[in-house]
Amino acid sequence: MIIKIQSCGEKLGFGWIVLSRNYCSNEATRHISDPTKRICKIMMSCPTLALDTALDQSGIRISPKIVEDVLMRFKNAGMVAYRFFEWAAKQRNYTHSVKAYHAMIDSLAKIRQYQIMWELVNSMRTQRMQNMETFGIIMRKYARAQKVEEALYTFNVMEKYDCAPNLAAFNGLLSALCKSKNVRRAQEIFDKMQDRFEPDSKTYSILIDGWGKDPNLPKAREVFREMVDAGCNPDIVTYGIMVDVLCKAGRVDEAIEIVRGMDASGCMPTSFIYSVLVHTYGVENRIEDAVDAFLEMERNGIKADVAMYNALIGAFCKVNKFKNVYRVLNDMTSKGITPNSRTCNIILNSLIDLGETDEAFSVFRKMIKVCDPDADTYTMMIKMFCERNELEMALKVWKYMKLKQFVPSMHTYSVLINGLCEKGYASKACVLLEEMIEKGIQPSGVMFGRLRQLLIKEGREDVLKFLQEKINLLVKEPLFD
């Protein structure tokens, strides 16, 4: 747990903690009728140690739905979320739901607070609330942190938590390992345990996808053949993965053969499969083929979804045909399909790469009216303005993000802090770094190194020591309970 003794703002001499406390006042939130938004506003503006008091004074009555929504919004700020989670547990006539526990476990695992995470699992066990998904989340998070043995431990310990592993849990373990680029370990575990759990089409599909991302096309083909030889018929998901694997390996023609032969197996190609083809044609600058694949899909009576439109937009962006991009956007909306943050990010990324930053900002302002930006969107825009030496605009995007109650990710913080360091704004960078630490987000070594150099250059070793001590409080907890 982070212990806040003194703020960086106080140490740097501009009274940041006083500003925070004033901003944290409940008077500033009383006009907000939505309790979830009001809680989020308080959590965004309060120092961590003042949060309980501010929430108590708010008089807000919580429900499982409110708590779940708040925890999801603060998934990037594990320790702030945990503080709220603990406060909520003490409220009258309230009990945490399974979904709330899972959201909290996910957030804690993300910042590697494993001991607290396992304490929550133990709490769920005492209430008989734990289930397969509880352990699935932990396996995914361990695997993502490249803690393969810990992921396997989680699978093996399930029985001790009165949750005997089944095929779904086995598939979850394999999927977690494959998605974290540990397909070889996944294959070893599969070979050892396939007699214990009879593999289904999902099991084989996970391994095929893993080998495809390795990339190892011969091994992906081998697993596919093994699947067929074992009498396990490929389903639509398997076909989709195989098409994706082949396309990524540059074997588009072979992928098309599979698509053409799907009818014989009773499977019709899906929008996902066509979107893979369109995306691949776009990567290869085969824009006419991309358009033909899109039109073929429509002729076959398959409706395009947002993922398909994103693939087509990406293909046009790749060849700098932005008039066509905007036509596709109009076609989407006319058919009742709303662009999502991925749509926005594809266009923004392409415009920024071309140096069309004014147009990128114009697109950003239009897109925020129809969809909510994600962490990548905000990071992209802040980085763009920092690289244009327009820190004021970068800070405006940051302020807008906070007003939307979006909790920044580590990458978003890093981009702005790096931008401030580039301009020599050490004080502002330090305040952001402290805010980041308070949310339980550990700064990257590269970003902290840049700020460290700036502070040493300015003779602020005392501030550097203070910040280093605060970072050290984010010590990773023991892995197991």
**What does DSSP assign to residue 254?**
H
Query: Mind listing the pLDDT tens digit for each residue in 247-289?
Result: 999 999 999 999 988 877 788 899 999 999 999 999 999 999 9
Query: Mind listing the pLDDT tens digit for each residue in 382-412?
Result: 999 999 999 999 999 999 999 998 989 999 9
Predicted pLDDT at 202: 97
Compute how many other C-beta atoms are within 10 angstroms of the C-beta atom of residue 47. Answer: 17
Please determine, for residue 478, whether its predicted confidence score (pLDDT) is greater than 70: no
Query: Mind listing the pLDDT tens digit for each residue in 332-351?
Result: 999 999 999 999 999 999 99
Predicted pLDDT at 469: 86
Q: Which two tokens stand for residue 415?
A: 């981009």
Predicted pLDDT at 27: 57
pLDDT confidence of 330, banded at 50, 70, 90?
Answer: very high
Percent of the chain scoring above 70 in pLDDT: 92
pLDDT confidence of 24, banded at 50, 70, 90?
Answer: low
Higher per-residue confidence, 443 vs 475: 443
Please determine, for residue 107, whether its predicted confidence score (pLDDT) is greater than 80: yes
Angle at 296 between CA 242 and CA 315, to 5 degrees: 70
In this prediction, residues 460-464 reach a mean pLDDT of: 92
Please determine, for residue 143, whether its predicted confidence score (pLDDT) is greater than 70: yes
Predicted pLDDT at 395: 96
In this prediction, residues 177-181 reach a mean pLDDT of: 97
Bin 179: left if φ > 0, else alpha if -120 < ψ < 50, else beta. alpha
**φ, ψ dihedrals at 29, nearest 5°:** -120, -5
* C-alpha–C-alpha distance, residues 174 and 195, integer Å: 15
* C-alpha–C-alpha distance, residues 309 and 337, integer Å: 9
pLDDT confidence of 15, banded at 50, 70, 90?
Answer: very low
* C-alpha–C-alpha distance, residues 36 and 405, integer Å: 11
In this prediction, residues 288-303 reach a mean pLDDT of: 94
Predicted pLDDT at 13: 36
Predicted pLDDT at 284: 94
Q: Which two tokens stand for residue 10?
A: 């106080």
Interacting residues of 311 by C-beta distance below 8 A, sequence separation 6+: 275, 276, 278, 279, 282, 290
